[in-house]
Amino acid sequence: METQALLQTTTISLSVLVNPLPKNFLPVFVKSPANATTTRRQVLASATAPKRVKDPKKRVVVTGMGLVSVFGNDVNTYHERLLAGESGITLIDKFDASNFRTRFGGQIRGFNSDGYIDAKTDRGLDECQRYCIVAGKKALEDAGLGSDERSKIDKRRAGVLVGSSMGALTVISDVLECLIKRGDQKLSPFTAPYMLSNMGPAMLAMDLGFMGPSYSISAACATSNFCFCAAANHIREGKADLMIAGGAEASLVPIRLASLSACGALSTRNDDPKTASRPWDKDRDGFVMGEGAGVLVMESLENAMKRGAPIVAEYLGGAVNCDAYHIMSPRFDGLGISSCIQSCLMDAGVSVEEVNYINAHATSTVIGDLAEINALNTVFKNTAGIKMNATKSIIGHGGGAAGGLEAIATIKAIQTGWLHPTINQFNQELGIEFDTVANRKQQHEINVAISNSFGSGGHNSIVAFSAFKP
């Protein structure tokens, strides 16, 4: 029966994977196939991790947070509006979307880079690059490293690692339009560099004078978590003292909206956009596009203490892997995800029983939501007291920025003891054994939190945070 169910799910066409299944389809929560190497016992045994790192040179702490979001550029305001369960999803008006199958998203309005990017430079930048620079500088300010305080750090050992799944889509779109209408002679000399996905972190590094590791990673919707893992490794390996890390995305442009609509990935609930993102709900019909940036300042504990930095959380560890399965769909049994969680807990020095909060990937896609649940059931079955919520239900799916925005939501939950709700929980799927914080915020003292991110191509990444304890 289990093998038959698995074969059924792995042969579904792409259009079915991202669109609603027939009303008589009953999801089967399957175990790993018989030839899989990871069993329940192995997962639990492996997740009984060694002691956490104590060396202050290798412990990684978070000292600052910065963002650009549908709720503005202030971290506290962002968290307050998440707690209120206020949907940030609206009809798109930055371009004419009236003829698109999906006409709504988590559109950012009123963004202003004044005071963070000089006007001459700002004119040629893509929004993705603007979001990266503003979020990065605001994170530094939050870390006590405004322009007057940066002499406290060795800039040769400070870097920038901010990724994007799509990069400068507006620049690329404008180039195509120019080529069609006016020819190649009319292109700006800045076209080539501004099209590059690494240009946001590169320009931020140049602006700050940070000469350490500075680059971008593109791992679809798992991008931010990949960047956190890589940044932490630079610090642990002694290659950097401080890293600005996270993700930025500005993909609410016609070419991206059209391409995602073409493969049926998006919700088409145009008559009720605010309830369109419905993670774990039986009537979910696809995800909702969002945009923005979420960035952390990560430092070695030694460096943070040396300069008297405000420590807001500790990064315990993380992991990345790949499903090696399908360009769009995760394995329905969640094997890649459960293996990644296991590796994250090992890296963090955390046991399964210590985790009591999960910020889920939970995009509101038919197969994706259940694959994540299958993975979580595998790892955390019989573990009491775990709460789980879905930030995307409120702000939409920020693509490469999603993990960054969700890491900030996770850390604010650790700081305040309040979890934002998962909104639009009307008719929850069967088989979900966790408290999803449905529709109303909840108080919860967090011991260890994990934040999940997965991307097209089978990219998985999990990161773990806790309150800092000397």
User: Which helix (H) or strand (E) is 298 found in, with range?
Assistant: strand 292-300
Q: Is 461 helix (H, G, I), strand (E, B) or coil?
A: strand
Active site residue 397: yes
| Angle between helical axes of 169-181 and 254-262 (0-180°, round to 10) | 100
User: Which helix (H) or strand (E) is 191 found in, with range?
Assistant: helix 191-195
Radius of gyration of the chain (CA): 21
Query: What span, in angstroms and rounded, lies between the C-alpha atoms of 342 and 38?
Result: 10
Residue that has been written with the tokens 């030839």 in this structure: 35
Active site residue 229: no
Active site residue 221: yes
Residues whose CB is less than 8 angstroms from the CB of residue 380 and which lie 6 or more positions away in sequence, other chains included:
352, 355, 386, 434
- In the set 128, 132, 221, 229, the catalytic residue is 221
| Angle between helical axes of 223-236 and 402-416 (0-180°, round to 10) | 70
- In the set 79, 234, 397, 444, the catalytic residue is 397
Nearest partner of 104 among 337, 296, 267, judged by Cα: 267
Q: Are 82 and 290 in contact (CB under 8 A)?
A: no
- CA dihedral (421, 136, 55, 450) in degrees, to 10, reads 20
- Could you tell me how far CA 164 lies from the centroid of its own chain? 10
Query: What span, in angstroms and rounded, lies between the C-alpha atoms of 342 and 296?
Result: 24
- In the set 79, 361, 420, 444, the catalytic residue is 361
Query: What span, in angstroms and rounded, lies between the C-alpha atoms of 168 and 198?
Result: 10
Q: Is 309 helix (H, G, I), strand (E, B) or coil?
A: coil
DSSP-derived secondary structure for 217-259:
--BTBTHHHHHHHHHHHHHHTTS-SEEEEEEEE---SHHHHHH
Catalytically annotated residues: 221, 361, 397
